[in-house]
Amino acid sequence: MSVLFRDALLWDGLAPEPRPHMDVLVDDGTVTEVRSSSQARGVSDEHVVDLGGACLMPGLIDMHVHVMWSGSPDPVSVVDSEGEQLTGLRAVANAQAQLRSGVTTVRDLGSNWDLAISVSRAVSRGYIEGPRVVAAGRTIIMTGGHDPFWGIAADGPDAVLRAVRTQIYAGAGIIKVAATGGVYGRPEGEEIGQSELSYEELAVAAGEAHRFGLKVASHALGSRGIADSVRAGVDTIEHGIFLTEEIVAEMKRRGTALTPTLHIYRTIADGEGAGIPAYAVEKARKAVRAHREGFHMAMEAGVPIVAGTDAGSCNTPHPSLIQELRCLRDYGMPTDAVLRAATSAAAAVLGKADAFGTVEPGKAADLLVVDGNPIDRLDDLLRVRYVMRAGRLVSAPAVMSR
């Protein structure tokens, strides 16, 4: 069925400002025409959606989520109590909540039992309604490393090679590695700046993943682990707390992207008395102090920056993208760049700039319609009117968590 969105305030995912009085024609899941509303229309009235000046824009992209996690104060304990089957059902519900808020693509960077890969397959086969899911499944870690709850322990280059191939065989759409310790993971024996997988191990992971056409995301907070990851050729640095000017310059030179996940660390740092484990609160407070400085260095150097929330983590429910976008803006990123970080820039980092992320002829019809103008007022993203995923209007749109 062809659908004509009439009289939109169109933000195409690229321009600094939206264009008023525009029509967007969708046919067979693809944007086929973008034109002024004054031009002739070629679609019967029953397939016309008159927007009356509402803003039409690309569907949003969250570059770091965990669909199986609950967003509770201690999501690991919830999974332990629920088990695989109930957790899998909740993962589907979380994915659907993301879609109803206007998030049409998520990159899932870690799940027990490779559950996110199953959710990705269920969406792509039409079994369930949900966003496009680019899923890593289990993370490749060192023995005793970060993400032990869903890690594949691999020590030495040969073991890492086998682990990468294991995830490729499982159907992963991206490979996740843990180059350093983290904030929420192990109560003891894990420091946020500690290097974990070595440069040699990271280089094998990146090389093998790239050989099979997959990108690599590296959980990397400490300076050495970030530097090793960048030199090894990973595609994105996740979190990137303790950046240095030298690392940022190398990221810029190589085109390595940063997913800073600003909101989650502030949430955990402020989580005393909110049920978040005390060890994580203490470590997050150390991280927040360095995070802003590193983010500014990356932004000023022109490092590609994309929006990711770590949704599902401690007190960060599905969806939470508006909170991350607010953080990006509050830390100095212009609003149009903030929106690109969750649309066109994110699609480019995924290697899918030719497929989605903008409203242009030939792109997938992943579209979001909101009342207002998010370029002028970011929180207008909460005023969801319609969501379209691959040309299909999503029923009962719901606003994002405020």
Q: What is the pLDDT of residues 93-138, one digit of tens each?
A: 999 999 999 999 999 999 999 999 999 999 999 999 999 999 999 9
Same domain, 366 and 232: no
Residue bearing tokens 């996690």:
69
Task: Decide if 234 contacts 217 (C-beta within 8 A).
Answer: yes
Same domain, 192 and 214: yes
For residue 401, is it within any domain?
A: no
Task: Decide if 145 contacts 153 (C-beta within 8 A).
Answer: yes
Same domain, 117 and 18: no
Q: What is the pLDDT of residues 215-273, one digit of tens each?
A: 999 999 999 999 999 999 999 999 999 999 999 999 999 999 999 999 999 999 999 88
Same domain, 54 and 172: no
Q: Which of 57-66, 308-317, 390-399 comes out lowest in average pLDDT?
A: 390-399
Tell me what pLDDT residue 39 has.
Answer: 78
Q: What is the pLDDT of residues 77-98, one digit of tens each?
A: 999 999 999 999 999 999 999 9
Of the candidates 380, 286, 281, 282, the residue with the CA atom closest to the CA atom of residue 326: 380
Residue 402: burial class (beta carbons within 10 Å; 0-12, 13-18, 19+): exposed
CATH number at residue 378: 2.30.40.10
Same domain, 289 and 147: yes
For residue 105, is it within any domain?
A: yes
Same domain, 242 and 206: yes
Same domain, 88 and 166: yes
Residue 194: burial class (beta carbons within 10 Å; 0-12, 13-18, 19+): middle
For residue 402, is it within any domain?
A: no
Of the candidates 213, 245, 216, 247, the residue with the CA atom closest to the CA atom of residue 231: 247
Same domain, 118 and 177: yes
How far is Cα of residue 347 from the mean position of the Cα atoms in its chain? 10
CATH number at residue 275: 3.20.20.140
What is the extent of the structural domain holding 306?
60-349
Same domain, 72 and 22: no
Of the candidates 256, 217, 225, the residue with the CA atom closest to the CA atom of residue 241: 225
Q: What is the pLDDT of residues 269-290, one digit of tens each?
A: 999 889 999 999 999 999 998 9
Quote the number of domains for the chain.
2
For residue 300, is it within any domain?
A: yes
Same domain, 16 and 66: no
